[in-house]
Amino acid sequence: MDYNYLAELLYPHIKTTPEDMEKKYPARDLPEGARVMRIAPSPTGYLHIGALYQAMANERSAHLSGGKFYFRIEDTDSKREVQGAAELFITMFGKYGIKFDEGAVIDGDDGNYGPYRQSQRTEIYQTFAKKLVQDGRAYPCFCTDEEIEAIRKQQEEAGDNPGYYGKYAKWRDASIEDIETALKEGKPYVIRLKSMGDASKRVKVTDAIKGELEFPQNEQDFVILKSNGTPPYHFAHAVDDHLMHTTHVMRGEEWVATLPWHVELFDALGFKRPVYCHTATLMKLDGGSKRKISKRKDPEADLAFYIKEGYPKDGLLEYVMTLLNSNFEDWRRANPTAPMTDFQFSFKKMSVSGALFDIQKLYDVCKDVVSRMTAEEVYENVTAWAKDNDPEFYELLEADKAYAVEILGIGRGGKKPRKDFGLWSEVKAYMGFFYDALFTGNKDYPENLDKAETKKILEKYVDIFDENDEQNVWFDRLKALADSEGYASDMKAYKQDPAAFKGSVADIAMMLRVAVTGKQVSPDTYCVMKILGKERVLGRISTAAAEL
């Protein structure tokens, strides 16, 4: 067979050669040991939480080595592609502060190794496919779906492995005449790799996360170009990661099964193999057993969920890092305020068996992260969230920033900051009572408090309240009121003989708390009163008393 003749027959329009491509994509000028890594999602609609997991691991690994991290869009499967998904990915990664050195951007490309959208790289793929045809390592296959199905049935009956290989590979040794006839008839065809593998022999790969992997060699003549001339994942991966000089290919472990394909492809193309790093699938607990996080069943599969629900960006990043590296939590405890970029991320600390995503733990991490923020930072974040999700609250926050920041400052700073909320969506419930428009009244007294007593205490308090009191004076006033009304001002005395009192100063404080905040749990009542101001405090307490 004259393979050059066949190659010209199939690709008369391809005038470029692999050498041209090598020139166009020269080696990168990077120091020894610098890693070039990427993420390459397929734009199939939404960004899975696993993509953030991958992005962070790649970004950290590349940048800690002094290398590059880029973004490629794998959009060769037009059947699965969702319009606007690529743009959504770019925006979403931007929101999470994932920084790419190069790659696809909203309106094109940024970098010297593009195009970074695979749909724009057809000529490049065909250049290499043509070369493989010239080398006798690829050939056209005109099998219809029905024929492929018939092969499958035959294999089932014979108890043979499924696939297109060896004696089942109908077009592998077709004559040039048969090929020309089929071409003349306009039959659609794919290009297949002519595998030289032998499944009775083994191939070994050292995975940077999973360690030594060993498989039977590939023997499948798998498709490298589809009938529309575009490549499936496998071929695009080999060509792109070679030309873009990716040193480490990190991807989900679902690609381990086809690793022998990739090994054979890289060899056939004469490319140096990258280091493979296969990451464990993110799992969740469901009724006691582990399973994959799925888009269909789990809203938390979609990164957009976290934005909508008001998860702090840094909380999610921080939590994902705990999933990525088992020693991150210890590091964080030892370095509570250090930026995450100081952490020495490593493949060695990545889970091999399946990281368990625990949304409750994420929430706790968010609470910690928020508790370390300044009031101003919390304000900016809550306001940004409310702008998109709660216009009523947004207007209130916007109308008086100083007031909101003062509220958010309660219990902040110091060794043990308050941890009242973990999500921006919880802030309204936490601080809403500070706004008359959101204050829902004050009927939520604990059951043990007598109504008439509460009314009396509230009425008395109106007369003794002084907005200029320091905290200790304020509390002394409460204690004096307690004593005069038969409540214990000393908690020890109360505990020793509760029957001797109507209650304790804690009950009095609770009456006031409920009257001014409407809630039994709130930030410090003294601080609350200070911020609410005399008029509101007295107004609320009087109204509360009147309603009892």
Q: Which of 10, 42, 428, 525 binds ligand GLU (CB under 6 A)?
A: 42
Cα 488 to Cα 111, 154, 498: the distances in Å are 73, 90, 8
Binding to ligand GLU by residue 523, rule CB under 6 A?
A: no
Burial of 372 (C-beta count, 10 Å sphere; 0-12/13-18/19+): middle
The residue range among 24-32, 38-46, 353-361, 475-483 that interacts with ligand GLU, by the rule CB under 6 A, is 38-46
3-class SS of residue 488 = strand
Binding to ligand GLU by residue 74, rule CB under 6 A?
A: yes
Nearer of residues 249 and 545 to ligand GLU, judged by Cβ:
249
Nearer of residues 252 and 417 to ligand GLU, judged by Cβ:
252
Do the beta carbons of residue 418 and residue 373 sit within 8 Å?
no
487-490 contact pairs (CB < 8 A, 24+): none
# residues near ligand GLU by CB under 6 A: 8
Quote the CA–CA distance of 315 and 364 in Å, as a whole number.
9
Cα 73 to Cα 186, 236, 241: the distances in Å are 32, 11, 12
Binding to ligand GLU by residue 58, rule CB under 6 A?
A: no
Q: Looking up tokens 């100063």, which residue turns up?
A: 505
Nearer of residues 42 and 504 to ligand GLU, judged by Cβ:
42
Q: How far is the CB of 178 from ligand GLU (least distance, A)?
A: 35
Nearer of residues 137 and 251 to ligand GLU, judged by Cβ:
251
Quote the CA–CA distance of 128 and 227 in Å, as a whole number.
16
The residue range among 40-48, 120-128, 342-350, 453-461 that interacts with ligand GLU, by the rule CB under 6 A, is 40-48
Restricting to residues 77-106, which ones interact with ligand GLU according to CB under 6 A?
none
Do the beta carbons of residue 155 and residue 168 sit within 8 Å?
yes
Restricting to residues 196-255, which ones interact with ligand GLU according to CB under 6 A?
237, 249, 251-252
Quote the CA–CA distance of 475 and 508 in Å, as a whole number.
11
Binding to ligand GLU by residue 117, rule CB under 6 A?
A: no
Q: How far is the CB of 277 from ligand GLU (least distance, A)?
A: 10
State which H helix or E strand residue 20 sits in: helix 18-24
Q: Looking up tokens 């409310």, which residue turns up?
A: 386
Greatest extent of the chain over all pairs of C-alpha atoms, in Å? 111
Q: Which of 41, 67, 310, 432 binds ligand GLU (CB under 6 A)?
A: 41
Nearer of residues 41 and 503 to ligand GLU, judged by Cβ:
41
Q: How far is the CB of 225 from ligand GLU (least distance, A)?
A: 17
Nearer of residues 130 and 248 to ligand GLU, judged by Cβ:
248
Binding to ligand GLU by residue 37, rule CB under 6 A?
A: no
Quickly list H helices, 287-358.
Answer: 303-308, 313-324, 328-334
Q: How far is the CB of 249 from ligand GLU (least distance, A)?
A: 6
Q: How far is the CB of 74 from ligand GLU (least distance, A)?
A: 4
Q: How far is the CB of 218 from ligand GLU (least distance, A)?
A: 17
The residue range among 34-42, 139-147, 264-272, 474-482 that interacts with ligand GLU, by the rule CB under 6 A, is 34-42
Q: Looking up tokens 């409920």, which residue turns up?
A: 514
The token duo for 48 is: 């899975």
Q: Residue 543 — φ and ψ, nearest 5°?
A: -60, -45
Secondary structure percentages of the chain, helix, strand, coil, to 5: 50, 10, 40
Binding to ligand GLU by residue 265, rule CB under 6 A?
A: no
Answer whether the bond into residue 41 is a cis peptide, omega within 30°. Answer: no
Residue 356: beta bridge partners?
283
The residue range among 39-47, 274-282, 435-443, 503-511 that interacts with ligand GLU, by the rule CB under 6 A, is 39-47
One-letter identity of residue 24: K
The residue range among 36-44, 203-211, 372-380, 475-483 that interacts with ligand GLU, by the rule CB under 6 A, is 36-44
Restricting to residues 378-397, which ones interact with ligand GLU according to CB under 6 A?
none
Binding to ligand GLU by residue 518, rule CB under 6 A?
A: no
Binding to ligand GLU by residue 48, rule CB under 6 A?
A: no
Residues that bind ligand GLU (CB under 6 A): 40-42, 74, 237, 249, 251-252
